[in-house]
């Protein structure tokens, strides 16, 4: 295996405090990963007058993957490039409860599902405008029974689902369900859509999923209306395996899924395209605890585990994951969000000892 090159974008506020020890931990494994740290956000502005200079884009293009912290906005142009520029269409957000995670549920045992969030379309086009702009289209609301433009003054946002966009993320989800089934999971894909109201857009997402499902007879297929999905996810999460859904539902429900197992400090994610992937915690930058060495780095560490897997360091990924499990099972060195008193540094030292 050739040497791997990984771009690191630390992000803002408390985010670098989770990213730096994660990189240090991986370095202990001597995988020969070359870390590249292009100037992004404030560093980009002071060096090149741009939050996402050419140098950063090139660094990403020449790398095998990116490890991204979290952004309050300053590194957002880099994040947008990692999504839309690199076509990372499948945002995989796993929720697996492990003993020691401080879940608010009485019985979190057995929670092990993944939300696959479509990452590029839906309401994330940032195509919004004034209702007047719709007048020439003569678009009519089926519920209000009048031209949408006549409802104003007001604004609209476009929700777009394409056949290709839906198909690639649904296929990704079925392939994932197959790999998980090989490791003992039930082999099930659930879609969450509002196809009873959004008959055209979410209706297409579901239609595409039904077609793809037909070519995976070994995988159970289930379609839920997204509000019902939210109920099942919170009342019987053990029933879920792989859940695929349009972008915004996935954004919202993956934060909810993180809450189920014990909070955003535990929620990793990986965004995959056909030729690139980047990895980031699902959480934000936690400005309230910035500079206090108390952020829970588990989400970032587990994102890095997903990254090592992607880069082919499968055994090493498993070693870090095991070390994290041991520290939680021990229950002695936990960060504050998990009911402990350990600093970020102490927590990471405990992980290193268990490697």
**Residues near Mg ion (CB under 5 A):** 251
Query: How near is the Cβ of 282 to Mg ion at its closest, in Å?
Result: 6
Torsion sign, CA atoms 306, 307, 313, 316: negative
For ligand IPM, give the closer residue by CB, 245 or 282. 282
Query: How near is the Cβ of 13 to ligand IPM at its closest, in Å?
Result: 12
For ligand IPM, give the closer residue by CB, 271 or 327. 271
Query: How near is the Cβ of 286 to ligand IPM at its closest, in Å?
Result: 13
CB neighbour burial string for 201-216, b if at least 16 within 10 angstroms, e if fewer: bbbbbbebbeebbeeb
- Classify 121 as helix, strand or coil: coil
| Beta-bridge partner residues of 93 | 115
For Mg ion, give the closer residue by CB, 64 or 251. 251
For Mg ion, give the closer residue by CB, 251 or 316. 251
Task: Pick one of 282, 289, 342, 348: the residue that binds ligand IPM (CB under 6 A).
Answer: 282
Element (H, E) at 116: strand 112-118
| Beta-bridge partner residues of 156 | 129
Range 240-259, binding ligand IPM (CB under 6 A)? 251
Query: How near is the Cβ of 266 to ligand IPM at its closest, in Å?
Result: 15
Range 63-82, binding ligand IPM (CB under 6 A)? 71
Angle between helices 226-235 and 247-261 (to 10 degrees): 10
CB-facing half-sphere around the CA of 322: CA atoms within 13 A: 9
Angle at 283 between CA 247 and CA 234, to 5 degrees: 65
For ligand IPM, give the closer residue by CB, 187 or 268. 268
By CB under 6 A, is residue 13 in contact with ligand IPM? no
**Which residues sit at the interface with ligand IPM, rule CB under 6 A?**
71, 251, 282
């Amino acid at each position: 295996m050739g040497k791997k090159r990984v771009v690191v974008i630390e992000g803002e506020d408390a985010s670098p405090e989770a990213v730096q020890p994660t990189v240090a931990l991986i370095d202990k494994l001597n995988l020969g990963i070359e870390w590249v740290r292009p100037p992004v956000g404030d560093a980009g502005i002071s060096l090149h007058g741009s939050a996402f200079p050419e140098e950063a884009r090139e660094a990403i293009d020449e790398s095998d993957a990116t490890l991204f912290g979290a952004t309050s906005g300053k590194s957002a142009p880099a994040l947008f490039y990692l999504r839309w520029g690199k076509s990372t269409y499948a945002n995989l957000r796993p929720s697996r409860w492990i003993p020691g995670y401080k879940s608010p549920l009485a019985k979190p045992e057995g929670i092990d599902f993944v939300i696959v969030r479509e990452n590029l379309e839906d309401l994330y086009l940032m195509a919004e405008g004034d209702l007047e702009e719709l007048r020439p289209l003569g678009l009519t609301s089926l519920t209000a029974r009048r031209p949408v433009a006549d409802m104003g003054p007001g604004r609209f946002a476009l929700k777009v689902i394409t056949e290709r966009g839906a198909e690639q993320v649904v296929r990704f989800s079925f392939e994932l369900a197959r790999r998980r089934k090989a490791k003992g999971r039930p082999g099930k894909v659930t879609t969450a859509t509002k196809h009873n109201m959004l008959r055209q857009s979410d209706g297409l997402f579901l239609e595409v999923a039904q077609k793809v499902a037909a070519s995976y007879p070994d995988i159970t297929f289930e379609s839920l209306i997204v509000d019902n999905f939210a109920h099942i996810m919170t009342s019987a999460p053990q029933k879920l395996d792989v859940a695929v859904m349009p972008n915004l539902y996935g954004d919202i429900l993956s934060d909810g899924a993180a809450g189920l197992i014990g909070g955003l400090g535990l929620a990793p994610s990986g965004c995959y395209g056909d030729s690139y992937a980047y990895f980031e915690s699902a959480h934000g930058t936690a400005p309230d605890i910035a500079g206090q060495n108390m952020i829970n780095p588990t989400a970032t560490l587990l994102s890095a585990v997903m990254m090592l897997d992607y880069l082919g360091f499968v055994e090493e990924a498993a070693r870090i994951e095991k070390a994290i499990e041991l520290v939680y099972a021990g229950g002695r060195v936990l960060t504050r969000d998990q009911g402990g008193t350990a600093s970020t540094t102490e927590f990471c030292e405990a992980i290193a000892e268990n490697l």
